[in-house]
Structure 1
Amino acid sequence: MNQVEVLIVGAGLHGLVMGKTYLEVCPGANLLVVDQASSIGGTWAEERIYPGLKTNNLVGSYELSDFPMDPEQHGLKVGEHIPGHTVHQYLHEFAEHFGLYEHILLRTKVVSATLLQDGSWQVTLNSLPISESAQPSVHNVFAEKIVLATGLTSEAYLPTFQGQDEFQGTILHSRQLAARAADLSASQNTVIIGGNKSAWDASYLAARSGAHVDMVIRPSGGGPSFAWPAYFKLWGFKTSLSRLASTRIFTCFDPSPLGYTGPFSLFRRFLHRTSLGRKILFRFWRSMDACIKKLNGYDEYPELEKLKPFITPFWMGNSLSILNYESNWFDLVRDGKIDVHIANVASLSKTKVRLSDGTILNADTLVYCTGWKAGPSAKLTPEGVMATTSFPTQPSGADSSLQVDVVESIYNMVPYLRTLPRRESNAPRVAECQCSTRKTNTKRPFRLYRLTVPSDRQYLSAKNLAFLGAHASIYTVMMAQVQALWATAFFLGKLEHLNAPNLDIESIEYNAIFDSVYEKIRRPKETGGLGDKYPDLVFDSLAYIDVLLRDLGLKVKRKKSFFKEMFEPYQLSDYRGLVQEWKRTRACTELKR
C-alpha cells in the first residue's frame, strides 16, 4: 500500500473513531492507520494496562454511540468503573465490527512526513522488529491527507535530578506501570513523584503490594489532584462529576466563550456578567469544594490534610482523580503506608531521595508521574512546516502583540478571571516555592482552529492535515466522535465557511489565537491546568461539541423538551447515528441547490 487517501497516525480511541467515521462517509476509501504499539487502544493498548487500572468513567459512559458496550458480556454492572482490560477488549471488538483491522499496521512508527508541492505527503514508516536481533525496515507511503491522532499520552516527560546517575534503584515512568508491574510489586520503599491521577494509582499499587510509599508533590504546581467519589450528594441530590459537567444548566457556570452563542447563552451572561449572577456562580463552586473536602475528610488526619487541593473546583482541569479503587485509598495514608510530602526533589544518591525541605527518603524505586510532552507525534518537513502547522514553537513578536489584545478582550468578557484567586490559602505561595527541576514552558500552546486543524491558509486550502485528541477532556469519547466527523467534513470540503470564497483567514487565525490564549488563562499551570500546552476542558466540553455541531449543520439541542435540555445530563446515546444524520443533512442541502 504505497499510496493512500488518508493516513491516520495512532490506533487509539481517536484514530479508530476517525477511521470508522471516514469509512462510513466514504465506503471503500483507501485508508491506513499506523501505530508503533503491538496492539490497538493507545492508552488502553494491552501492553500499557497495569494491575487495577480502571477508567474514570462508569459503565455506559466510555463506549461509541453506534456500538454500545454490553455490560453483561464483559461481566460489568451499572455504576461500576470499567477495568482497563475491558476497554481494550471493547476497542478490539469495535475495530473488528467496523472492519478496521484490514486498514491497521501495528508496530509501525512514523519517522517523518514531508509535504510535497502538490499538497500530498511522503511519509517514512519504520516497521519495528518483533525480536531484538531483527532489523527494522523502512519504507515510504504517499498520503493525500494525514491525521495525527496520537492524543497527548504518547511521549513521556522525564525530569532529571542532581545525582540521578548515582541512584542504584529502579526508575520508571507511569507509562511503564504495566511492563514494570513486577518491579513495583517487589519494591520496599517507593517514591512517587507527582500528584496527578497516575500518581494516585501508582501509590495505591505499591502500597497494596507491601511497599512504604512516599508521595512527593511540587509546591509550585497544581498540588494534589481533586479526588472525586464515583457518586456523591450535592444539595441533597445524588450526582457525579461527569453528570454535572454534562448537564446544560451546570455547564453555564463555566465562563467558556464558546458558550456565549450556544443554548442558554442569556443565562450564562447573567451568571458571569452581573453581580447577582456572580454571587450564585461562586456559591456553586464553593459548594462543590466544601462537599468534596468534607467527603474525603482532609481535616480529620494531619497527613491527609496535605492532600487537600490547592485550588477550588472552578480551576480544576483534567488532572482530577476519580476514586475507583477496590478499597479506600485514604486508609493507606491513615495506616502509615503512604506519606505525603509537599516539596521538590533536590537530589538523588545511591538509595536516598533528598527533598527541598531537607527530608531524606529511603528509596529502591522511583516512579515519575510527571505527565507527557506536548508536541507532534511525527516530524513534519520541510523546515518551517512545524511552525505553520501550529505546533508549540517560540512565539514571534507579532504573536506577542496580538496576544496582548486578545488577553484584554478575554478579561473584558470575563472580568473576574483577572482578579479571582487561583490558589487556596493552604497552597504554598508560588513566589516562595523553591526552584523546581521542571522547566518553564516558554513555548506557545497548541494553536489549532476548532482544536483540530491548522489556521494557516496553506492547510485550510489544501485540506490535508488534521489533529485529533490534541486536548484533554472529561468527555473523551463524546468529543472524539464529533471531532472525527468534523475533520472528515473538512477533508471533503463540506464545511462551507472553510471553502473559498467564504474563507475568512483573519477571523480563523484570530479565533485560533483567542482559544489558545483563553485556555492559558482558564487553566494556568499554577492551578495544575494544562492550558499553557493544550486545551484542558471539563465543564466547557459540551460547549465545544456544540460549536462543531453548528459547523456541521447539525442539531445542537438534542433533548426532547426544554426541561430535559436544561437538567438532564447529555449521554453518548444522544449522539447515536450522528454520521448518518450528517449525511442526510448534506444530501438535503445539496438537493436544494
Structure 2
Amino acid sequence: MTEHFDVLIIGAGLSGIGAAWRLQDQRPGDTYAILEARSAIGGTWDLFRYPGVRSDSDMYTLSYPFRPWREPESLASGDKIRRYIEETAAEAGITRHIRFDQRVVRADWSSTDSRWTVRTADGSVLTCAFLYGCAGYYSYTEGHQPDFAGLSDFTGTLVHPQFWPEDLDYTGKRVVVIGSGATAVTLVPAMAADAAHVTMLQRSPSYLTALPNRDVIADLARKALPPKAANRVARAKNILLTQGFYQLARRRPQLVRRALRGMAVRYLKNPEYVDEHFKPRYDPWDQRLCVIPSGDLFQVISEGRASVVTDHIDTFVPEGIRLRSGTIVEADVVVSATGLSLLPVGGVQLAVDGEPINIGQHAAYRGLMLSGVPNFAYCIGYTNASWTLRADLSHRYVLKLLDHMARHRYATATPTAPARSGRPLIDLSSGYVQRALDKFPRQGDRDPWIVRQNYLRDVVATPRADVTRDMTFTHAPVPEKVAS
C-alpha cells in the first residue's frame, strides 16, 4: 500500500530540518516525512568537503532562531555547521522521519484526488497533501566546469571543489585556484598552509570584505545574558549591520567602493596591487560580496604564500596554464573554483493533471510558490543575507497557509497567475545565476508576486500577509453516491 503523508519535505539540509521543526512545533498532528537524496543530513554542509569550507554568513543569523548558536566562531567551519544541523534534528526527534537515499525524480498532482504522487529514483512511491521543496537551488551532481583548451595536455591534477578527493595531497606543491568567488577566496588561505605556493587566477576581481572570526558583541552578550537572549542580541545586531550595509551599497555604491578598496590597501599596503587585482568593474552587491575571516586571504598574500593573477586563460599546457598575455603559471594541482550549476527544486519534474510544469514559465508567488501549481512550495534564501533568515519566514508562511486550509476545510490552494511577469527570481549578475535564469520562475509586477531582498521589511510583512490574496481555494470533491 502506498504511504500517504500530510506533508512531504524534499531535502534534509539546513532548510529541510528547519521546516520539519516548525511543522512539528505548530502542527504536531500532521504526518510528514523528509526525502533526502543523499545518505546523510546536512545538504550543502555535508556535500562540500574542500579545505577551509565555511560559512560566509555569520552563524547568529545562519543558525535557527529556535536553537541558539553556541560555538565561539561567528564564521564557522563546514563540519561544525553540519554537526549543528544533525544535533538539531536529533534533539527534536526529526531524524526518524528522514528517508535517506531517496532522490525525488517526479511529483504528479491530481486534482481529482487532491494529492501529490511522489516518485523516487529507486522506484518508491509516496503520496501527500502538500509538497515542500527544501533542496536549495543548485545541482549536487555537477558543478560548472568550463571546457578549457588543452586540458588533456596538463600533466598535473585538476579538481573541482564540489567533488574534492579525500586522498588529494598538495603538500609542498604548486597550486592554482581558478576563480575569485567565495569558494576561491576560502580555498587559497586554507591550501596556502601546506602548499609550496597558491596562485588565485581570476578573469576579473570580486569585492571582498574582512570580518572578524569572533563577534565581540556576541561574546559580551553571552557573558551577561542567558543563551537565547544573547543569541537574539547578536542576531539583531548582525541583521541591522548586513541590511544597512546592503542598502548603503545600492544607494551609495561609490562610497562603498572606496571603503572596500581602503580596507584592502590597509591589509596589503600596496595600492597598485589592490587596483590591479581587487577593483571590480561592477558595483558592490551586483554580485554577492565575499567575506574573508580576519582578512586571511590578504594575510597569506602579504606573507608571500599566495598571489593573485588577473588574466584570461589561453590554454592548459603540460606544466600548467598559459595565459593570453603569454605568461605560463606553473601548477601541480589546479582547482577549478568556477561556480555552481543551478537547479530548482533539486531537479524534480513536476506535473499537474498530467501536464509537465516548466518552472521557468511560471511566476513566483511570495517567492515560495508557483502560479497555477496547487499545494506546492519551495524554499529559497536571501542573496544579500543569511539563507536561514528567509527560509524560516517561508516555513512560517507555509504553516500559516496550512492552518488556514485546515480551518476552512480546503483541500487545495493554488496561486492565481499575475497579469505579467518581469524580473528574474534571483536578481544577481553573477555568471552562475545568469546561466540558469530560464530555469527559475519570474517575479511579477505587484505584490504578492514581487520578491524583495529585504529581511527587515519581510519579517514585519510576511507574518501579517493575507494568505487568501491571489489564491484560489477548493474543497475536496464530494464522493458520488452509489445507487442501491
Which TM class, normalised by the smaller chain length? 0.7 to 0.9
Counterpart for residue 464 of structure 2? 550
List alignment gaps of at least 5 residues for structure 1.
Answer: 127-136, 233-239, 257-280, 394-445, 554-593
User: In the aligned structure 2, how far is the partner of 1:380 from the partner of 1:32?
Assistant: 19
Give the alignment partner of residue 453 of structure 1, picking from 337, 345, 369: 369
Contact 2:3 2:127 in 1 (8 A): yes
Counterpart for residue 64 of structure 1? 64
Residue identity in the other structure for 1:26 = R
Give the alignment partner of residue 322 of structure 1, picking from 272, 291, 298: 291
C-alpha change, 1:491 and 1:174, in structure 2 (3 Å) is farther
C-alpha change, 1:144 and 1:473, in structure 2 (3 Å) is farther
Measured after TM superposition, the shift of residue 90 of structure 1 is 1.6
C-alpha change, 1:303 and 1:538, in structure 2 (3 Å) is farther
Measured after TM superposition, the shift of residue 12 of structure 1 is 0.7
Counterpart for residue 306 of structure 1? 276
Contact 1:452 1:470 in 2 (8 A): no
C-alpha change, 1:552 and 1:122, in structure 2 (3 Å) is same
User: In the aligned structure 1, how far is the partner of 2:412 from the partner of 2:156?
Assistant: 62
- Corresponding position: 1:141 with 2:134: no
Select the structure that is richer in strand. 2
Contact 1:448 1:455 in 2 (8 A): yes
Contact 2:180 2:200 in 1 (8 A): yes
Contact 1:245 1:539 in 2 (8 A): no
Select the structure that is richer in helix. 1
User: In the aligned structure 2, how far is the partner of 1:53 from the partner of 1:527?
Assistant: 19
SS of the equivalent of 2:293 reads coil
C-alpha change, 1:245 and 1:481, in structure 2 (3 Å) is closer
C-alpha change, 1:184 and 1:296, in structure 2 (3 Å) is farther
C-alpha change, 1:301 and 1:515, in structure 2 (3 Å) is closer
Counterpart for residue 346 of structure 1? 314
Measured after TM superposition, the shift of residue 473 of structure 1 is 4.1
- Corresponding position: 1:101 with 2:95: yes
Counterpart for residue 225 of structure 1? 207
Counterpart for residue 259 of structure 1? none
- Corresponding position: 1:123 with 2:108: no
Counterpart for residue 467 of structure 1? 378
SS of the equivalent of 2:55 reads strand
Measured after TM superposition, the shift of residue 503 of structure 1 is 8.3
- Corresponding position: 1:88 with 2:82: yes
User: In the aligned structure 2, how far is the partner of 1:44 from the partner of 1:190?
Assistant: 24
User: In the aligned structure 2, how far is the partner of 1:194 from the partner of 1:515?
Assistant: 27
Residue identity in the other structure for 1:306 = E
User: In the aligned structure 2, how far is the partner of 1:548 from the partner of 1:343?
Assistant: 45
- Corresponding position: 1:197 with 2:182: yes
Contact 2:139 2:342 in 1 (8 A): no
Measured after TM superposition, the shift of residue 198 of structure 1 is 0.6
Residue identity in the other structure for 2:396 = L
Measured after TM superposition, the shift of residue 367 of structure 1 is 1.5
Identity %: 18
C-alpha change, 1:231 and 1:66, in structure 2 (3 Å) is closer
1:211-254 per-position Cα deviation (integer Å, ceiling 9, x unaligned): 322222224xxx3232332399xxxxxxx999576369937946
Residue identity in the other structure for 2:280 = F
Equivalences for residues 83-482 of structure 1 within 5 A: 83-118=77-112, 119-126=114-121, 137-155=122-140, 156-177=143-164, 180=165, 182-183=167-168, 185-186=170-171, 188-219=173-204, 223-230=205-212, 243=237, 246=240, 250=244, 253=247, 281-282=251-252, 285-297=253-265, 300=270, 302-311=272-281, 314-318=284-288, 320-324=289-293, 328-376=296-344, 377-382=346-351, 385-387=356-358, 390-391=359-360, 447-456=363-372, 459=373, 462-463=374-375, 465-469=376-380, 472-482=383-393
Residue identity in the other structure for 1:114 = D
Residue identity in the other structure for 2:123 = V
Contact 1:125 1:140 in 2 (8 A): yes
Contact 1:189 1:363 in 2 (8 A): yes
SS of the equivalent of 1:354 reads strand
C-alpha change, 1:163 and 1:106, in structure 2 (3 Å) is same
Measured after TM superposition, the shift of residue 166 of structure 1 is 3.7
Counterpart for residue 483 of structure 1? 394
Contact 1:304 1:333 in 2 (8 A): no
SS of the equivalent of 2:192 reads helix
User: In the aligned structure 1, how far is the partner of 2:381 from the partner of 2:61?
Assistant: 21
C-alpha change, 1:94 and 1:380, in structure 2 (3 Å) is same
- Corresponding position: 1:516 with 2:424: yes
Counterpart for residue 53 of structure 2? 53
C-alpha change, 1:116 and 1:360, in structure 2 (3 Å) is farther
Measured after TM superposition, the shift of residue 43 of structure 1 is 1.7
Measured after TM superposition, the shift of residue 107 of structure 1 is 2.5
Measured after TM superposition, the shift of residue 100 of structure 1 is 0.6
Measured after TM superposition, the shift of residue 470 of structure 1 is 6.1
Further displaced range: 295-304 or 14-23 = 295-304
C-alpha change, 1:335 and 1:144, in structure 2 (3 Å) is same
Taking structure 2 as the reference length, what is the TM-score of the superposition?
A: 0.75
1:24-79 per-position Cα deviation (integer Å, ceiling 9, x unaligned): 2221322111222332111222x53444333234453332222223x2xxxx33x6
Contact 1:166 1:349 in 2 (8 A): yes
C-alpha change, 1:24 and 1:311, in structure 2 (3 Å) is farther
SS of the equivalent of 2:170 reads helix
Measured after TM superposition, the shift of residue 353 of structure 1 is 1.6
C-alpha change, 1:528 and 1:145, in structure 2 (3 Å) is closer
Measured after TM superposition, the shift of residue 483 of structure 1 is 0.8
Further displaced range: 205-214 or 9-18 = 205-214
User: In the aligned structure 1, how far is the partner of 2:276 from the partner of 2:406?
Assistant: 50
C-alpha change, 1:490 and 1:308, in structure 2 (3 Å) is same
C-alpha change, 1:530 and 1:471, in structure 2 (3 Å) is farther
C-alpha change, 1:488 and 1:204, in structure 2 (3 Å) is same
User: In the aligned structure 2, how far is the partner of 1:207 from the partner of 1:524?
Assistant: 30
1:265-308 per-position Cα deviation (integer Å, ceiling 9, x unaligned): xxxxxxxxxxxxxxxx43xx443332222122166164443332
Measured after TM superposition, the shift of residue 181 of structure 1 is 5.4
SS of the equivalent of 2:263 reads helix
Measured after TM superposition, the shift of residue 447 of structure 1 is 4.4
User: In the aligned structure 1, how far is the partner of 2:366 from the partner of 2:237?
Assistant: 24
Q: How many residue pairs get matched?
A: 428
Q: What is the RMSD computed on CA atoms of the aligned residues?
A: 3.9
Further displaced range: 187-196 or 55-64 = 55-64
1:498-557 per-position Cα deviation (integer Å, ceiling 9, x unaligned): x999988354x64xx24537x64xx3348998995779x99733334444233169xxxx
Contact 1:190 1:212 in 2 (8 A): yes
